[in-house]
Structure 1
Amino acid sequence: MQGILREIGMIARCLDTISNAEFKEYNLSKGQYLYLARICENPGIIQEKLAEMIKVDRTTAARAIQKLEHQGIIYKSDHPENKKILNLYPTERGQNLYAFLKMEEQHSMNVALNGFSPAEIETALLLLRRMRENIEEDWKLIKRGEKRAYMDQARAEIARQKL
């Protein structure tokens, strides 16, 4: 059972390494392509919603957004009703890069799902979605500064073993 999360982690790291190498010539690195893709798919998205969608903290999102803006890949626009809120949009360059990102995503998807039947693909998607929904509860707990349930037991065990 513990192998499931390890496999998911290895898949994620492989894809991240591949993407970072392939997008390097476009100065997209460290997962910046994730931000660009979500902004292109959700034009006008606000930073907070984008951070939640990608599952990062606001500070991490702010740094990535700032870099993308500095590179002329995205731009910020004042929200029509609240000047404190900035909407994010891709520039023309960002849209062009997004087309390349979509090609890479499709290729990676084809490679990853090679030999899978349509039913297996649907089952995998449903199971992974359920896993994400389950783990999101702990993610939200941690974001609020709380501790997961096992922590008290883990601390007691560590104290008992005098680690």
Structure 2
Amino acid sequence: MREILREIGMIARALDSISNIEFKEVNLTKGQYLYLVRIYENPGIIQEKLAEMIKVDRTTAARAIQRLESQGFIQKKNDNTNKKIKRLFTTEKGDNVYPFLKREGDHSNKAALAGFNPEETELLFHFLQRIRKNVEIDWDYVKKGNKREYGSDEGL
């Protein structure tokens, strides 16, 4: 079987490295841009939903959110009906950075898909969505404290 996940991982790490270098000029590092983009595109999202959307644990999300808040890119606001719920919004500073982040994302997407025709692009998108949905099953299972069964044929 081909090592498809290795290829996906290499692509993701390369793009993440590029973004971390390019976003230094706006003082965003270590994947913070991903949180900022999702908050901008989903104003009022709660931390738990954001973590689920990005596929990280709550602690990782909390650290990134805290840093973005201390840097003035986002703000937390109380929910209108439940004061325990904090909703996330971009600030003017976050709003001003978004077009730069979006432009980089669009450029990366275009560069990654160079040479693909529209049908291939659509097919690839469909396959990647299927892979993500398959992986989400294990992610949800493990996130709840369970361990995956690997089977005896893998030498474990």
Give identity over the alignment, percent.
63
Give the 4+ runs in structure 1 shifted more than 2 A: 152-155
Which residue matches 2:152? 153
Which residue does 1:161 correspond to in 2? none
Larger RCO: 1 or 2 (CA < 8 Å, sep 6+): 2
In 2, Cα distance between equivalents of 1:9 and 1:64: 21
What is the identity, as a one-letter code, of the residue corresponding to 2:32? Q
- Report the equivalent of 2:33: 33
Residue aligning to 2:59: 59
**Distance in 1 (alpha carbons) for counterparts of 2:126 and 2:20:** 28
Paired position in structure 1 for 2:127: 127
TM-score, with structure 2 as normaliser: 0.96
Structure number, greater radius of gyration = 1
Which ranges of structure 1 fall in alignment gaps of 5 or more residues? 159-163
* 1:65-120 Cα distance to aligned partner (Å, 9 max, x none): 00000000000000001111000000011011111000000110110011110000
Q: Which amino acid aligns with 1:26?
A: V
Q: Which amino acid aligns with 2:5?
A: L
**CA-based RMSD:** 1.3
Q: How many Å apart are 1:27 and its aligned residue?
A: 1.4
State the Cα deviation string for residues 48-74 of structure 1 (Å, max 9, x = none).
000000000111100000000000000
- The TM-score, its normalising length taken from structure 1, stands at 0.92
